[in-house]
Structure 1
Amino acid sequence: MASEAETVTLTAHCLCKAHVFTTTVSRSNLPLPAYACHCDSCRHSTGALYSIDAPWPEPRPNVDTSALKSFHFSPSIDILFCGTCSTPMFFAHSQKPDGELGIFTGTLQNGTVNPIKIVDHIYVGDTTDGGATMWLRKPNEDGTDAKRFRERGKGDNVEEYPWGWPAASSFTGYEARKEDSLPIRCKCKGVDLVLHRGSYDGKKREELPWFIDPATYKPLVGFCGCESCRLFSGVDVWTWTFAELENISFAPSTDKAFPKQTTDLKALVDAKDPSIGTLTYYASSPDVQRYFCGNCSACIFYAVDDRPHMVDVAVGVLEASDGARAEGFLSWAYGKVSRMQDSGGGWRMALLERVEKECEEWRIGRGYPKNWMRIAREQAEAKAKS
């Protein structure tokens, strides 16, 4: 029997902690190989720009997943998730009851030993613009590149993308704008909404909502490393954009007006109004509602009571013609991951620091300006030091 020093206990749990899974693994078998999938289906099932899982070291017959809700993700794969708080826990082979379980890495506790190594990015071709792979080139402790594949990362005729793909000339860019509206859809399409651009053009900075870029009038996208967003989605690095509720509508087939305040949105879900589809929520705090699809687990919105006219919108459930990052609609705040302090003392802090570093390099390489809020913050910090 291996000694305690030779083993590591891995624990995974959902946001509400109704489901907790533990297993012991030999240190020599770590890190576990993790695979980030960037396909359209994974983006619309998580609300993130990708999903990421690693093989759970416990044989499937030994893992009681009966209390988890199941979504038939593909002909051969199910997502097993918490029906209360949305956290996806496992990918499971629906046709192989004894097959390997894939644990969503965002559910793993933030211990002192790093349990994963991101080996491959797969189905990157679905992103069109490279999606989140552009800042996940060197996510691992050993500094190695994670390979990128057009589809699956195995087989004789698999196309591997060089890190020069896609060409910079193919990106939409900071100033360019494309669609005036984007669908908000989960994988199962039980949530089918539309995000509209909003009437901000020509307004002065002080007249704009805080999240609207005063140069492009596009809504901000921010990176979040907090524990709640990580557990909500099962993905280690989260991205939100922001919208006033007046700029969200139901799909054109629905005549009903979308709620203009978060209290009305909550009431509509509580009433199980048919217009809201499969949208439900988990109150992660007394004043916070995290909205998700109750059928396929996709994260959709974050709402907080002191911002009654707006919500955070999961970037992964948007559908844009120019790619997963929807740069023709959104203004990305590359270079900063908020709430990194949630990972202090654990292995994830180093991961977030690497992501932040790559984001900044990506921003500079693209010629993107610093985010206007970042400039203001840096100026305030410089003034305080002088």
Structure 2
Amino acid sequence: MSSSEDLVTLTADCLCKANIFTTQVPRSKLPLEAWACHCDSCRHVTGAIYTTDLTWPEERANVDVSALKAYSFSPKYDVLFCPTCSTLIFFASTQKPNEKLVVSTGTLKNAPGDFFKITKHQFVGDTGDGGASMWLRKPNTDGTEAIRYSKRAQDDNGNPAQAISYDWPSPDQLTGYAAKTKDPVHIWCRCGGVNLRWEPPSYEGIKDEDLPWFVDPNTHKALAGFCACESCRLFGGVDVWTWGFAELKDIHFSNKEPGFPNSSDALRALVDARDPSVGSLTYFASSSDAQRYFCSNCSASIFYAWDERKFMVDVALGVLEASDGARAEGSFSWAFGGAISHLEENAGGWRYDQFQRVMKEGEDWRISRGYPKNWRRLAREEAVERA
């Protein structure tokens, strides 16, 4: 029996703190093996463009998940999430009741230590463009590379699958920094209860000074960026959260019926009224002036709305289906390699170092693809230089 000095406590919780799970693991077992998944189903059930998971060390029979809501993710697994705030905490086998739960690493407390190691990326082929695997190439403390697979790491017979190189996809297969697509972008959750479309405007003929603050004056693409705050992380249960920005006037019901709210006040009122037009969309007020919208059936994070920005929302990138891949580079201007918002919140814990690696990998990938720094990153760096 290990002494208390040899045990490390793992804590997983949800955004509203109604559900908190703790377990202990021998320090000698760390880091635990984790894996990233980029499949269409995981992206659309979380709102994140990838998930990272590991086996929860506690025996399943000892974990009380009665306060969590279950959604049938597949014939083999349910996802268990907080019905109040949407945090997806566990995957649970439906065919093997004694099999241990799988926990979303984004729900783990940010404590000092080296808790897990990502060994593989699965279903990268579903992304079309590599998705988040591009900035998670070497996500671990020891600098090792996480192996990428188009589908699973093993075939149906348990044999190792062929890995795919980080050179995939080639630059000529990507939309690139400058080119902008005109295709509408589908917004949908895993269960289909949220079913919308976003039509990115052209902004042709509009002066730079009249563009929305989040629109790149060079490409007229909307900003896509990284957030390290606890609220975003717990909203979707993933460590590195990504948002895109859109004006509400450009979001529509998928059946092309008019009437989708063009302000956050109107959106909140429609959801509060339980209007059937919004389907399973609900929200959690993470602060007095902010609403985090998600699917009440399957947990997928959809929007972040802030009362001071009434005519726009942050859109969870994992629920988008774009013609050019999971990153939707034809619609978004990514700040690859730039500073991650709210990074300072993670000081003193393992996530701070992970985010540093994400920034480095993002920068290396940006340079390898010949992408320039996006305008927001340049503006921030210039402001620092002037200070």
Local SS of the residue matching 2:337:
strand
Which of 264, 270, 273 is the aligned partner of 2:272?
270
In the alignment, what sits opposite 1:300? 302
In the alignment, what sits opposite 2:14? 14
For 2:385 and 2:161, locate their aligned partners in 1 and report how far apart those are by CA, in whole Å: 50
- Report if aligned partners of 2:121, 2:133 keep a CA contact under 8 Å in 1: yes
Which of 308, 312, 315 is the aligned partner of 1:313?
315
For 1:359 and 1:11, locate their aligned partners in 2 and report how far apart those are by CA, in whole Å: 29
- Report if aligned partners of 1:224, 1:239 keep a CA contact under 8 Å in 2: yes
For 1:83 and 1:52, locate their aligned partners in 2 and report how far apart those are by CA, in whole Å: 21
Q: How many residues align?
A: 383
Which of 287, 290, 293 is the aligned partner of 1:288?
290
For 1:39 and 1:303, locate their aligned partners in 2 and report how far apart those are by CA, in whole Å: 27
Gaps of at least 5 residues in structure 2 are none
Deviation beyond 4 Å, 4+ runs, structure 1: none
In the alignment, what sits opposite 1:200? 203
Local SS of the residue matching 1:334:
coil
> What is the RMSD computed on CA atoms of the aligned residues?
1.1
In the alignment, what sits opposite 1:129? 129
The amino acid of 1:170's aligned partner reads Q
Q: How does 1:1-386 map to 2 (within 5 A)?
A: 1-154=1-154, 155-156=158-159, 158-252=161-255, 255-336=257-338, 337-384=340-387
Q: Deviations over 1:311-341 (max 9, x none)?
A: 0001111111211111111111111211111
- Report if aligned partners of 2:41, 2:190 keep a CA contact under 8 Å in 1: yes
- Report if aligned partners of 2:153, 2:160 keep a CA contact under 8 Å in 1: no
Offset of residue 104 of structure 1 = 0.3
Offset of residue 295 of structure 1 = 0.5
For 1:383 and 1:117, locate their aligned partners in 2 and report how far apart those are by CA, in whole Å: 39
For 1:201 and 1:3, locate their aligned partners in 2 and report how far apart those are by CA, in whole Å: 67
Q: Deviations over 1:12-49 (max 9, x none)?
A: 00000000000011001111111110000011011111
Deviates more, 1:230-239 or 1:171-180: 171-180
Q: Deviations over 1:155-187 (max 9, x none)?
A: 326221012111122111011122331110011
Q: With the length of structure 1 as denominator, give the TM-score of the two structures.
A: 0.97
For 1:85 and 1:104, locate their aligned partners in 2 and report how far apart those are by CA, in whole Å: 15
% identical equivalent positions: 59
- Report if aligned partners of 1:256, 1:275 keep a CA contact under 8 Å in 2: no
Offset of residue 199 of structure 1 = 4.2
- Report if aligned partners of 2:183, 2:323 keep a CA contact under 8 Å in 1: no
The amino acid of 1:92's aligned partner reads A
For 1:267 and 1:31, locate their aligned partners in 2 and report how far apart those are by CA, in whole Å: 46
For 1:377 and 1:36, locate their aligned partners in 2 and report how far apart those are by CA, in whole Å: 31
Deviates more, 1:260-269 or 1:161-170: 161-170
Gaps of at least 5 residues in structure 1 are none
For 1:139 and 1:377, locate their aligned partners in 2 and report how far apart those are by CA, in whole Å: 25
Offset of residue 381 of structure 1 = 2.0
- Report if aligned partners of 2:49, 2:131 keep a CA contact under 8 Å in 1: yes
Q: Deviations over 1:253-293 (max 9, x none)?
A: 5x241001101100100110000000000000010100000
